[in-house]
Amino acid sequence: MKLTFMALLSLFSCCVAAETVGYRAEIVYFKAVPAKEKEANVHYEDGYLIVKDGYILKSGDYATIKDQAVDQLINYSGKIITPGFVDTHVHYPQITMISEYGKQLNGWLNTYTFPTEIKFRNHHYAQQQASEFLDQLVNNGTTTALVFATSSPASVDAFFEPAIK
């Protein structure tokens, strides 16, 4: 999969055991529910994230904490580091029908969804679509998702094969 979105910065794969790594980038995250607290978001335009053994030790403004000792500094200036997004309900077979004309549910299902999902009985087709779907999730910052396939077992198997890689 192509990893082009910096929100998916793999902090774990870059770190050698017990190595402390500093990441310099714009940092955005929430410390509370935005609808409930006015000051829920945290944003450092020139931020610094310090990680050891896969755990975040400290984050803050680069100018304020830049003197903290690290074994390695990785500069992602001009990029954004944020926690991965979570999608709690998404249908991978619908990737090819995104933004189709909106109708009442039954009309939409009969016109777009069911004809599209029939194609996912073909394992090869389903696997191609699954790979594209997973690439789009990752490229848009989604690291966790509850993904639905079709009623065809081929669509389920085809999804898990690229997801495991």
Number of structural domains the chain divides into: 2
Residue 28 sits in a domain whose CATH number is: 2.30.40.10
Of 48, 83, 118, the residue that ends a domain is 83
Q: Which residues contact 44 (CB under 8 A, 6 or more apart)?
A: 26, 27, 28, 59, 60, 61, 62
Let me know whether 79 and 98 are in one domain.
Answer: no
Let me know whether 128 and 144 are in one domain.
Answer: yes
For 35-151, where are the alpha helices, taking DSSP H only?
Answer: 62-65, 105-108, 114-118, 123-139
Give the tens place of pLDDT for each residue, 96-123. Answer: 877 777 778 888 888 888 999 999 999 9
Let me know whether 70 and 132 are in one domain.
Answer: no
120 in a structural domain: yes
- Using DSSP's 3-state secondary structure scheme, residue 81 falls into strand
CB 6 within 8 A of CB 25: yes
Let me know whether 150 and 120 are in one domain.
Answer: yes
Q: What is the pLDDT of residue 74?
A: 97
Of 83, 106, 129, the residue that ends a domain is 83
Of 83, 99, 131, the residue that ends a domain is 83
* pTM for this prediction: 0.67
Q: Name the E strands within the chain.
A: 20-30, 41-52, 55-61, 72-81, 85-91, 142-148
Retrieve residue 9's tokens.
Answer: 């910065």
6: confidence class by pLDDT, cuts 50, 70, 90: very low
Let me know whether 90 and 154 are in one domain.
Answer: yes
Buried b (16+ CB within 10 A) or exposed e, 31-44: eeeeeeeeeeeeeb
1 in a structural domain: no
Which residue range forms the structural domain that includes residue 132?
A: 86-164
